[in-house]
Structure 1
Amino acid sequence: MTNFLTAEWRKLIMANYAVDPNILLPLLPKGTELDIFEGKAYVSLVGFMFINSRIFGVPIPLMGSFEEVNLRFYVKRWVNGEWRRGVVFVNETVPFKVVAVIANWLYKEHYTAIPTKHEWFMNDTKQAIHYYWKKQGIWNELTIEASATSQKMKAGSVEEFIFEHYYGYTKVDAINTIEYNIAHPSWEIYPVKKVTINCDFGAMYGAAFAHLSHLKPDSIMLAEGSNIAVKWKRNKL
């Protein structure tokens, strides 16, 4: 299957919040259902780096590496006797308007282009990963301090649930859904020591998520990431 996009996704921070499933149902693409872990529906505030991005193998001049921040939730779809587990993006933020336009056009996603920046500090024992994005003149922040030694995810853990989703689903409208495949190996994670989140969820993602600005996440994760590939084939459901 031809790859549309290849890149590295690196230093992925996931701040995971359990929410009322009724908040997510209006956003649910047709043909999918919410993927629940231990009785909870989760949304994740995610920050990471796109590095060495290529479209059909061709480097993207001046825009191959950039920050992305997104809010996503988890769904599944029954196909040929097995579950396809995927994510739905409420919004994805990147610094380049052309990247947002292409993604919205081809995959009907919900990208916006606003200023972003990042800082990474690493030594032999610890690391500090910072992502920032500017909305309505104010810088939001997602920062994590973690060990420098990675470990494998435990089978059946919340970390495995959050990270092991390999499909993207987009709600085009009430009757149309786009499905696409995202390929990457299982990731290793780092023990987390400290987190700082300053996010205006209401301004970024709408009134339904505004209350998350005042909540502590249920869990925080940092994954190393890997090379990834987004397949060109898009299934219309």
Structure 2
Amino acid sequence: MSFLTANWNNLALINYVINPKMLNKYLPKGTEIDLWNDKCYVSLVGFMFNNTKLLGLKIPFHINFEEVNLRFYVKRFENGGWKRGVVFIKEVVPKRALSLIANTWYKEHYQTNKMSHGVTENNTSRTFTYQWKNNNHWNSIQVETKLDQSAIELNSEAEFITEHYFGYTKYDKNITFEYEVTHPRWEQFEIINYKIDVDFENNYGKDFAFLNESKPVSVFLAKGSKITVENKRKIKS
């Protein structure tokens, strides 16, 4: 049985190119930075967890909720092939129990904050908003899209950002945990406009303060799908 099942919906993905050396101290042992067209990415991602089940069971008041995370992309060579995954700098959710479970079981970097979300629609567009409060400051991601969805093209930047199926966690300098995330190939909505009001230093520390003055190289809105998270394992380097 999967550790967790849910629907990940309406994923707003805001992507920045950075110097990969800046991520060395966050890199789990046994992995290396995954590049696209020789560029290293970090992504700010806001999305909805819906119909969430832990070991097949719905936990009251923890079924539908927001998450916002900052992540980067890695790969790991094993059994003659590459596994492509993500590493999370921090994941923000609105329920303390979620943070407790994720930090205890998966050794992740979850934080509990007050959060909200919204979706508005008119005849030509749809707007998705994610907000969270950190140190008395409200941060927000807002993405406006066209109504029709389309396939994510092969070998595209959007494919690189969305097609990573493993999570890696740096427990310490010698121990890395790996877990698998399964989902079908996603579709996307064409972006019309976006607005980012985020204090990166306040949320993620001085290492990421430069993002306050950086412009995203791309923004995507993925429709999402049902996902599963499989049980973790300690990997051997």
- TM category (shorter chain) comes to over 0.9
C-alpha offsets along residues 29-49 of structure 1, whole Å, 9 cap, x if unaligned? 000000001111000000000
Count, aligned residues: 236
Equivalent residue for 1:138? 137
Deviation at 1:128, TM superposition (A): 0.2
Equivalent residue for 1:15? 14
Task: Give the TM-score normalised by the residue count of structure 2.
Answer: 0.98
C-alpha offsets along residues 51-95 of structure 1, whole Å, 9 cap, x if unaligned? 111001100101111100000000000011110000000000000
Distance 1:57 1:126 in 2: 36
> 1:22 is paired with a residue of what secondary structure?
helix
Equivalent residue for 1:122? 121
Task: Give the TM-score normalised by the residue count of structure 1.
Answer: 0.98
Deviation at 1:125, TM superposition (A): 3.0
Distance 2:117 2:211 in 1: 22
Equivalent residue for 1:198? 197
Distance 2:106 2:195 in 1: 32
Equivalent residue for 2:55? 56
- Structure 1: 5+ residue stretches without partners: none
Distance 2:101 2:140 in 1: 26
> 2:203 is paired with a residue of what secondary structure?
helix
Distance 1:179 1:191 in 2: 32
Distance 1:22 1:203 in 2: 21
Deviation at 1:15, TM superposition (A): 0.3
Overall identity of the aligned pairs, in %: 46
Deviation at 1:122, TM superposition (A): 2.6
Moved more, 227-236 or 193-202: 227-236
> 2:12 is paired with a residue of what secondary structure?
strand
Deviation at 1:124, TM superposition (A): 5.2
Distance 1:122 1:58 in 2: 33
Report if the CA contact (8 A) 1:123-1:148 is conserved.
no
Q: CA RMSD in A?
A: 0.9
Report if the CA contact (8 A) 1:180-1:235 is conserved.
no
- 1:18-167 correspondence runs (5 A): 18-123=17-122, 125-167=124-166
Distance 2:123 2:54 in 1: 35
Give 2:200's aligned amino acid. F
Deviation at 1:234, TM superposition (A): 2.4
Deviation at 1:111, TM superposition (A): 0.2
Equivalent residue for 2:216? 217
Equivalent residue for 2:226? 227
Deviation at 1:107, TM superposition (A): 0.4
Distance 2:213 2:59 in 1: 38
Deviation at 1:233, TM superposition (A): 4.1
Distance 1:123 1:232 in 2: 41
Distance 2:140 2:60 in 1: 27
Report if the CA contact (8 A) 1:47-1:131 is conserved.
yes
Deviation at 1:236, TM superposition (A): 3.4
Distance 1:228 1:124 in 2: 30
Report if the CA contact (8 A) 1:201-1:212 is conserved.
yes
Report if the CA contact (8 A) 2:182-2:227 is conserved.
yes
Distance 2:235 2:108 in 1: 14
